[in-house]
Each structure stands twice: as structure tokens, then as C-alpha cells.
Amino acid sequence: MKRRILVAGGAGFVGRQLVRKLMTQHDVCVVDALKFGNRFDESDNSKIVLETVDIRDWRSLSDVMERFRPEILIHLAAIHFIPECERDPAQAEEVNVLGTMNLLRTCPIGARFVFASSGAVYQPDDAPHDETNSPVGPADIYGLTKLHAEHFVRYFVKQRGLCGAIVRLFNVIGPGETSPHILPEIIYQLKSGNTRIKLGNVWPQRDYVHVEDAAGGFGRVALCGDIPAGVTELVNLGSGKQYSVSAILDELRSLTALPIEVEHDASRARAVDRPFLQASIARIQAGFGWSPRLNIAAALADLWKNPDLAPSLVEQLRNR
């Protein structure tokens, strides 16, 4: 069945992949401030409605909602690079929380509202995080803004009769990155001819999910399963496995046959960096029929073959 789907942040890292999956069978409207530019090609643009709107702008959002009347709203728009959130917490709060409230307030009653939260809302632990038993306790500004926004999702879903879903997304990897996370930085340095690369912390372990799998997971939560009006479902979205940066470097040595060495750069080390982050994904598997298809080796191979980094990201990496 063809649906009217609005994707906030649809021109971003995960959003662009998700929109390309949806636009062949559904009517799709992308709402994006285009901070990283319009990265859709001409054939994509002909199949979607693109609205250049900042989600902090309530009036412009209201106009878009009145014209498009989405049946499903998938909210991916956020400032999610942790150092950027730490440098400007007020901006992170405005975009990640006020922007979320604006979307909730303007979303048509009865629509399904799918919110991209984060595994960063969980209290640091060395065990896999599950939605029922793992306590929340963010360790950084980004996680705080996402947890704050989750509260508003639950409130407005109940108040306005929306069908809610909170998707706690873990670390995404693959072609098309827009922010200077550690994996695109590694690839950029290697592609620039440097085999002695400068990195911050290499000991943290993270749950990495391929960007195509992440997009597929949001698509399943948006289109599948029965969510009653006024109810908010909560699921994790990750691979269910975790890897240290050191382990990823070993994978890259095998993939590229390059003699990769690491030079510790204190300026690149995060002041706030949890040691472990891994998802339990049983709930999204059972409730929405989603499981990851691509492993870490496939994600790294795709990233190495075609990094597709946003031009603004390349410029940032070049100047570091």
C-alpha cells in the first residue's frame, strides 16, 4: 500500500539511504536544513518532495504538514556528533529537543511518529543494553538531549493520539557519512596516503550497524507492526555485536593489505568516552521482523570501496 511518508533529516547519513528505499513505493517528503548540502542526484529529486526547512522553525513545519499531510513521520534530524554537542549544548538542545517538539506538535493526529533516539541514553555498562532492564543515564550532552526528547515523544504521542515508536540507534557505519566520526576519519587518512594515522582513543568498544541495515530498520518500524494510537513502542537498532577501534584496524589491515600504524593524538581524544556500548536487538527482531544482514567486514569493505563522504566532512578532515 502506498503511504505518504515524511522523513525529517532525510538528506543525512541514514536518511538518504532510507529515502531511496522508500521512494520507489511511497510518496516521500524530505524535510532537511541541508546543512551538508543536497546529496540526492537528479533522478532522486524527481521522485521526492524536498522541503529545505530547519526543524526549529515551527511555522514552516506547520506549512509543510498542512500541504503534505503525512501518514508516517520518521524523525532522523539531529546534531549527533558528540564533540559538537559538547561545544554548543544550547544548539544541541534546540535542534534535538525543540525540533522534536515542533515535529510532534505539527504531526497530523493518528499518524505514526518514528523517532531516532540513541544508545547514548543508556547508563554506561559492560553488558548489552536492553530496553526493559538497562537503566538510562547518559554520559554526554548528546545522550541527554535524546533522553529529553524521548520524554516529549511519549507525552505528545499520548496527548495527540499519535502512534509512537522510539528507535534507539547505535553506531552507524558505511558510505555517506556527514560527521567526523572515527571510522570516516581513518578511511580519509588512509585514502590520503597515510598509513601512520593519528587517532584519539582506540580502546572503546561500539556496536556498529551498516547504514543500509539502519535504514532498513527504520523502514520496518515505520511500516510494519501494529502500534495503537497513544502508545509508544521502544526498540534498539544495532548489530548486537561490539568492536574496539583496535579490532577494526585489524580488519582494515586485512582488507587493504596496508601496514597501518597508529599515533595517539591527544587533541582527537574525547573527554567523555564510554568504554562499552552494545545493543540487545531481540525486541526489534520479534516485534518488527528486522535483523541486520551485513556484518562489520561488509560495512568496512563498502566504506573503503566508496566512502561517499559529504564534501563538508572532507573539508573538516582536510583541515584537522
Tally the domains of the chain. 2
Supply the CATH number for residue 194's domain.
3.90.25.10
How far apart are alpha carbons 159 and 290 in whole angstroms? 29
Structural domain boundaries enclosing 227: 4-172+210-237
Q: Do residues 120 and 183 share a domain?
A: no
Per-residue cell: 259: 601496514
pLDDT digits (tens, 9 = 90+) for 53-87: 999 999 999 999 999 999 999 999 999 999 999 99
* pLDDT < 50 stretches in the chain: none
pLDDT at 221: 98
Cell numbers found for residue 22: 522508500
Is residue 84, in this structure, part of any structural domain at all? yes
Q: Does any domain span residue 288?
A: no
Distance in angstroms between the alpha carbons of the first and the last residue of the chain: 48
Q: Is residue 283 part of a domain?
A: no
- The verdict on 203 and 132 lying in the same domain is no
Secondary structure in 3-state letters for 124-147: CCCCCECCCCCCECCCCHHHHHHH
Residue 122 lies in a domain: yes
Q: What is the DSSP string of 270-302?
A: -SS--SEE-B--HHHHHHH-------HHHHHHH
Tell me, what's the pLDDT at 85?
96
Same domain, 73 and 202: no
Size of the chain, expressed as the number of residues it contains: 320
User: Do 21 and 95 belong together in one domain?
Assistant: yes
Same domain, 217 and 308: no
Query: Angle CA(314)–CA(255)–CA(253) in degrees, nearest 5?
Result: 85
Do 182 and 50 belong together in one domain? no
Please report whether residue 281 resides in a domain: no
258 with 142, same domain? Answer: no
Do 157 and 229 reside in the same domain of the chain?
A: yes
Question: What pLDDT was estimated at residue 134?
Answer: 97
C-alpha pair distances (Å), 45 with each of 11, 178, 275 = 11, 19, 41
pLDDT at 317: 84
Do 98 and 247 belong together in one domain?
A: no
**173, amino acid identity:** I
In a domain, 287, yes or no: no
pLDDT of 145 reads 98
Q: Are residues 49 and 66 both part of a single domain?
A: yes
